[in-house]
Structure 1
């Protein structure tokens, strides 16, 4: 690595560390030639904390960059995860729903690289996703033009020229006196108590949790599930559109249970006393109908209403958690 490359890499690493300390994330808009943008981002990723990151676009580009690959239409299976880096190849199309959803998966210090034409060309750019919405039949795109104008004026958006690999102005936030520390908010603490109360309480009294994405619903479910096992519940079941959706839930349950765990897999936690937290896909849950004192449904908006009704009627204590605003509304 030459001195210039090391200077660039060091600048990005320091920037990411400051963001993580402040609990911030950043959008990095990479404007210009598509192949140049891919090459610049792929060359930068090894210098960042990019393990477990995702590339939305062509699979061969994801492989070259060393990231996992996902198609935009499959975005729901990533909900509930926390990503350090997300690369979105806008030349392949930008679905607003998927883009908004996946941007919410970035953890503190996370970077979202958006590969696009220069902002001045957005009003004339024929986004491949327009065919899905009928906008491909229009000659101008005023919404795209307005979005470009907003991004151009936002000082927190980092703009890179695809053909220019020099160190950008990263607009670093001021380091805080006390670093950002993840923790339960008062609202989250109250929510955990409500979930535990529901799980220990009378039958047929479901709890419905709604909030914006990123407010800690999955974390609260995981903490509450662990406390239910510790308080005597023998089996707590979890369901969601996919196993990936409950990664955060299980991470917080795992942390809460600590040394009490006897078995630990990505979709099953068993305590030394034999109590267990298990994930089952919704169709498997409804076909097998295993016994459980409590069922938790995460990302409930991603499941058909008839399935939710069947879960509600099939188990004595049910908790639903869902985002109901924006793209999931």
Structure 2
């Protein structure tokens, strides 16, 4: 790539930020060529918040934190400018779908892979984890390659030069601005009312990634401490999931904050916001007027029920179409528990994105690649048995519409359905 092109990445990212967009940069080639190319491009790309998923030595070359793909949950709830995903090291679908949601407007996802034509034969190192290494045809990878080849918004880089697309950038007055939406402000108000309100009326918050639910939880937690609540407890699968929550709570507390360390904020009058792991929280049962559960869909159902019954005011926040793919299962299955145990529970949904603009190309692409919004079509009426025909059907041979509808049935039927299940289903349908 010419040096002038090399220096254009920062300008391109700034243009994307003004549009409220993010993009996938698909780097196709031999493993070391892909890595060397990305390392060379970082000379023209300034980033304070980046992550390299792959080999630690590659991450060190560009001065970014690095990790293996299996550790992806550590970074959920954080915000990135750049994500480098070395697919030559393995492509667990849950992790890739998840971390794409951590990129904010102007963000770039560099995906290092073989040329698209080779994807059906590519021996992904992650196959062994799921017992797919002996499968002769990898329909999941073939489908992804086809969709990416058809996606004009994908920036494809190979051994030749890659041209960055021309963007129509709005005037400064019309540029995308990251800021609280009306929905988010209303959620903060609702969470404060809930936290000051009557017992046994849990609140359930559902949203896609990038809608600002974690920030809203943090702002509301701070407001509750300032209003007199003595202890608000936050729990999640890992503390990394709630860093955004604590950052916004810290900002809102401002001068009222007297002490702080990781997972703990204390005001001048001793009121506390604390993080507890789910296991420790259920084991030690600390007193708390309010408990907030973030990334609830990734927590087993029996533990959610214990959390629900263990404290007077419990709010559950869940990603609907997230990496774990269980948001809809959470809504369907946990709703039954809520109806039975606390019938006066409430639900709030966030729809408008806050970290990027509506119609963001990367969000649309990730949803398409992993069928994150797949849903079963409602059945109008039951048919007589004589009118029903049972025919052989293979997901790998289905149209996109059929595949989405069939996978939607699977999602609705199981509590924990993940993007990895889509790969397993396409590559080894006999397992289902």
TM-score, L = length of structure 2:
0.70
Runs of 4+ in 1 over 4 A off after TM superposition: none
1:272 counterpart residue number: 268
1:113 counterpart residue number: 110
1:306 counterpart residue number: 302
Residue 145 in 1 paired to residue 139 in 2? Answer: no
The structure 1 residue matched to 2:215, chosen from 205, 216, 219, is 219
Structure 1 residues 13-22 or 143-152, which shifts more? 143-152
Mapped partners of 1:111, 1:133: distance in 2: 29
Question: 5 Å matches for 1:309-328?
Answer: 309-325=305-321, 327-328=324-325
- Mapped contact 1:18–1:172 kept (Cα < 8 A): no
- Mapped contact 1:212–1:323 kept (Cα < 8 A): yes
Secondary structure of residue in 2 paired with 1:319? strand
1:53 counterpart residue number: 50
The structure 1 residue matched to 2:75, chosen from 70, 75, 78, is 78
Tell me by how many angstroms 1:145 deviates: 2.1
- Mapped contact 2:22–2:105 kept (Cα < 8 A): yes
Mapped partners of 1:49, 1:241: distance in 2: 32
Mapped partners of 1:257, 1:49: distance in 2: 31
Tell me by how many angstroms 1:230 deviates: 1.9
Question: What root-mean-square deviation, in Å, do the aligned CA atoms of Structure 1 and Structure 2 show?
Answer: 1.9
- Mapped contact 2:7–2:45 kept (Cα < 8 A): no
Count matched residues.
322
- Mapped contact 2:8–2:44 kept (Cα < 8 A): no
2:29 counterpart residue number: 32
Mapped partners of 2:8, 2:58: distance in 1: 24
Mapped partners of 1:192, 1:12: distance in 2: 37
Mapped partners of 1:204, 1:290: distance in 2: 17
- Mapped contact 1:76–1:302 kept (Cα < 8 A): no
Tell me by how many angstroms 1:304 deviates: 2.4
Question: 5 Å matches for 1:81-100?
Answer: 81-100=78-97
Show CA shifts across 1:73-126 (max 9, x none). 222221111111111111111111111011111111111110000111112212
Mapped partners of 1:146, 1:280: distance in 2: 41
Mapped partners of 2:286, 2:42: distance in 1: 44
2:201 counterpart residue number: 205
Alpha carbons of 1:187 and 1:146: their partners in 2 closer, same or farther (altered >3 Å)? same
- Gaps in structure 2 of 5+ consecutive residues: 327-432
Show CA shifts across 1:184-203 (max 9, x none). 22222222222111111111
TM-score, L = length of structure 1:
0.91
2:242 counterpart residue number: 246
Secondary structure of residue in 2 paired with 1:238? strand
- Gaps in structure 1 of 5+ consecutive residues: none
